A and B are shown apart, each in its own frame.
Chain A
Amino acid sequence: MNNDYLWDKTGNDADIERLETLLSDLRYQPVAPPTLVQKQLVFEPRRTWFRRSLARILAGGVAGVLLVGVWFLISRRDISNETTPVSAKDTQVGAITQAPAKEGNVPRSDPEPVKTVYLPERKAARRVIAARAVAAKPPRRPERLTRQERYAYDQLMLALSITGSKFKAVSDTINRTED
């Protein structure tokens, strides 16, 4: 056996040469390449760019959602930390306060310290937010009507009172009839 002959045909190896001779009949016989139909010249477009941009958009979307979620959680935690022990001021507005029972009607401006109740974090935070929202609302101004509006308002009230009295008369009539 000669390994060189098997690798690059240098030297000789009778067995391999015999096999080569035997099998040479099966060797590829060169023929003309297949004719290409014009239709086959159209290559399938590669959509790599499309897949990549889609993946980028998806990744960006997921990252955005995560960022918003993290921001939301952090901001919530900040509010909770800020307001966990409900202060005396806050309890006057919204938190549950327990005034001394025996004193009865104690005015709010009573200097006696109010007992602070520690609520669960979230509840307290919600109350504080609600209280701030109420405090932030501007005071309601008294409405001033024009002359015409005032007249229309009086007429409306008059019409409503007449209608009311008519309804009452009808109602009385019906009741009497039933009796």
Chain B
Amino acid sequence: MSDREFAGTTYFFAAESAAAPVSESPRSRMISAIKAGDEQAFGDFYREFAPLVHAILLARLPRHEVQDIVQEVFLAAYRHIGSLRDENALGGWLARIARNYVVDHYRAARPADELTGDIEGKRDLRLEASEALDAIRSLPIAYRETLVLRLVEGMSGNEIADLTGLSPDSVRVNLHRGMNLLRKSLGITGKKG
């Protein structure tokens, strides 16, 4: 969102309290700084949202390619940050860039299978992790991303809602439905620990 547009959206409030300047949220300050070319702000942005992008990519792409693409996604986001209109939708906007990157990746990439833990000669635990990840990847996309954020990145429901821009209720529904499907898929009975 350009300054002019932003000024348009907040004009009403600014006119009411002309003496007191409109208080910017930390996130909007960060975005303004990134637009101004502040590398420190970009670093903060990267650290805050890298797990989100990582989870979105991991839900779709082979593991060994994810890290590089995370960086590419952030560079693309940096180049196009001028097109961000709603600063509150930063997470959703970044997630969309990441998803587009996945589409481009599949369009351009040669078919390749992910190396499993078995081929790499790792322990059974690694293999089990790969199987669990495969099971998550077989779920509908809405559940897939939310579950990766929860189970792989270790975020709470509120953190997921805050980063993705989804409502907490939507996240809760996605988590529970996705988890039920995952349990069925992995043959877990759902016993309390």
Contact = CB atoms under 8 A, between A and B. Distances in A.
Determine which residue in A15, A20, A23, A24 has the highest number of CB atoms from chain B within 10 A of its CB, and name it: A23
B151 A20 contact: yes
Interface in A39-86: 40-41, 43-46, 48-49
A90 B158 CA distance: 88
Determine which residue in A15, A31, A46 has the highest number of CB atoms from chain B within 10 A of its CB, and name it: A15
B55 interface: yes
Contacts of B126: 25
Which DSSP category, helix, strand, loop or mixed, fits chain B's interface?
A: helix
Given A3-B176, A6-B176, A7-B175, A34 B193 contact: no
Interface in B176-193: 176, 179, 182-183, 188, 190-193
A31 B37 CA distance: 21
A31 B190 CA distance: 36
B191 A34 contact: no
A172 interface: no
B141 interface: no
A28 B55 contact: yes
A19 interface: yes
**Count class of interface residues, chain B:** 35 or more
Contacts of A34: 46, 71, 74-75
A30 B44 CA distance: 12
Interface of A: 1-3, 6-9, 12-17, 19-20, 22-31, 33-34, 36, 40-41, 43-46, 48-49
26 contacts: A6-B150, A6-B175, A7-B157, A14-B191, A15-B191, A15-B193, A16-B151, A19-B151, A19-B182, A20-B151, A22-B132, A23-B132, A23-B133, A26-B63, A26-B133, A26-B152, A28-B153, A30-B50, A33-B71, A36-B37, A36-B75, A40-B75, A41-B37, A46-B2, A46-B83, A48-B2
